[in-house]
């Protein structure tokens, strides 16, 4: 091919370029080993000496034309591609965000934490005790000897013979705490924990439930200290307008024994389905620690005194969050937990 025809073809080709690929194809067409310009270049040796210089210059010109064009276009296309890519990858802040699915606290856990915080703020420690317990701690050292009718009410699961059982109440933690509490008075503990009983015949009873136990041992402790403590806790948990009242009851490990009521947080005393139209809800068993219980755990009742209380955390959570079936408290379904979460938000308003 002559220089003129290559030049002509090159000029035509350059006009028709509209992509980086086409540009690279042209580079192959003209400058690869068998490219048109390369071939012209290799013809130099066949050209007569007097025309060699001119021929060489023309081929070089062609090469330069191509290379200049190539560099310029290549930059142009690359910039264009980059801009396109940036435009595609740009974040559109007007798009709706992807929703992050968050968890929701379990209502029972939440209630327990709240109670713990209230009592910790009054100087109480949160303690633990075993769920597999000795009859001695679950009953005997709480002044409920073998054969005592009060045992029947607790429908206990025995594991081995008559000595090892699943604790039917958190009260054995009182005994365990007193046994190792010497010299560290005043004893102020609360113990949330699982308890077990054989009755699960309706939606408000389960074979396993949560109790929270409280114990205070010091000098000159009376029923009024108990009343004051319960009153403060109830106001913190159920709202400042909450009132409390005690009425007499009977437990083997306290004397005197009481049951504590709170004024209904739902109707504030007017009467509703939650308080069964009485305006009051019984939530706690309590009393002054029985002298026998103190002395069995090594505290001289002439020197020491205390109060104790215990309540069902499940029941309290059900009341507070308006749950009818205690099994819902052990549910891990986020949709339901979210529902309760929402309810509580309304509750706090």
Binding region for ligand DAH (CB under 6 A): 169, 171, 213, 251, 254, 285-287, 308-310
Q: Among residues 6 and 217, whose Cβ is nearest to ligand DAH?
A: 217
Q: Residues 126, 190: contact at Cβ < 8 Å?
A: yes
Beta-carbon contacts of residue 96 (< 8 Å; ≥ 6 apart): none
Q: Is the CB of 23 or the CB of 187 nearer to ligand DAH?
A: 187
Nearer of residues 36 and 289 to ligand DAH, judged by Cβ: 289
Residue with Cβ nearer ligand DAH (152 or 346)? 152
Residue with smaller CB distance to ligand DAH, 9 or 140:
140
Closest CA to 123 of 252, 232, 25, 206: 232
User: CB of residue 212 vs ligand DAH: minimum separation in angstroms?
Assistant: 9
Q: How far apart are CA 174 and CA 297, in angstroms?
A: 9
CA distance 10 to 151: 107
Smallest separation, CB 175 to ligand DAH (Å) = 11
Q: In angstroms, what is the minimal distance from the CB of 262 to ligand DAH?
A: 16
Least distance from ligand DAH to the Cβ atom of residue 278, Å: 21
Count Cβ atoms within 10 A of the Cβ of residue 131 and give its class: 0-12 exposed, 13-18 middle, 19 or more buried. middle
Contact 213, 194 (CB under 8 A): no
**Gap between the Cα atoms of 294 and 297, Å rounded:** 5
- CB within 8 Å of 262: residues ≥ 6 apart: 234, 238, 242, 243, 244, 280, 281, 283
What is the rounded CA–CA span in Å between residue 18 and residue 26?
11
Please report which helix (H) or strand (E) contains residue 26, including its range.
Answer: helix 20-31
Quote the least distance from Cβ 107 to ligand DAH, whole Å. Answer: 21
Min dist CB 100 to ligand DAH, Å, is 42
Closer Cβ to ligand DAH, 27 or 151, answer by number: 151
CB 189 within 8 A of CB 126: yes
Query: Toward ligand DAH, which CB reaches closer, 40 or 316?
Result: 316
Residue 279 Rama label (left phi>0; alpha psi -120 to 50; beta): left
Structure tokens at 231: 């009153």
Of 171 and 206, the one with the shorter C-beta distance to ligand DAH is: 171
Question: Hey, how many other C-beta atoms are within 10 angstroms of the C-beta on 160?
Answer: 8
Question: From the CB of 318, what's the least distance to ligand DAH, in Å?
Answer: 17
To the nearest whole angstrom, how small is the minimum distance from the Cβ of residue 170 to ligand DAH? 7
Structure tokens at 286: 């309590």
> Which residue of the chain is nearest ligand DAH when measured via CB?
310
């Amino acid at each position: 091919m002559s220089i003129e025809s290559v030049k002509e073809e090159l000029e035509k080709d350059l006009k028709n370029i509209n992509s980086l690929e086409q540009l690279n194809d042209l580079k192959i067409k003209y400058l690869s080993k068998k490219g048109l310009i390369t071939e012209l270049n290799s013809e130099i040796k066949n050209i007569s000496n007097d025309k060699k210089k001119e021929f060489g210059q023309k081929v070089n010109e062609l090469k330069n034309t191509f290379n200049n064009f190539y560099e310029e276009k290549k930059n142009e296309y690359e910039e264009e591609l980059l801009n396109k890519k940036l435009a595609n990858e740009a974040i559109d802040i007007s798009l709706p965000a992807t929703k992050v699915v968050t968890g929701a606290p379990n209502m029972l856990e939440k209630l327990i934490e709240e109670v713990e915080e209230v009592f910790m703020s009054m100087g109480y420690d949160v303690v633990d005790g075993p769920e597999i317990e000795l009859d001695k701690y679950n009953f005997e050292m709480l002044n409920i000897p073998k054969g005592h009718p009060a045992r029947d009410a607790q429908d206990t699961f025995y594991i081995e013979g008559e000595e090892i059982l699943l604790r039917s109440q958190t009260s054995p933690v009182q005994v365990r705490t007193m046994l190792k509490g010497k010299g560290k008075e005043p004893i102020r503990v609360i113990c949330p924990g699982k308890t077990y009983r054989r009755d699960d015949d309706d939606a408000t009873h389960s074979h396993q439930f949560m109790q929270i136990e409280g114990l205070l041992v010091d000098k000159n402790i009376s029923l009024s200290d108990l009343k004051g403590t319960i009153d403060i806790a109830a106001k913190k948990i159920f709202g400042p307008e909450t009132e409390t009242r005690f009425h007499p009851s009977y437990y083997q490990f306290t004397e005197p024994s009481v049951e504590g009521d709170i004024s209904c947080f739902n109707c504030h005393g007017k009467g509703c389905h939650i308080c069964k139209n009485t305006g009051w809800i019984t939530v706690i068993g309590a009393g002054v620690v029985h002298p026998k219980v103190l002395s069995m755990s090594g505290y001289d009742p002439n020197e020491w005194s205390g109060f104790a209380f215990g309540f069902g955390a499940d029941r309290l959570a059900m009341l507070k969050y308006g749950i009818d079936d205690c099994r819902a408290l052990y549910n891990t379904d986020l949709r339901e937990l979210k529902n309760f979460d929402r309810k509580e938000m309304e509750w706090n308003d």
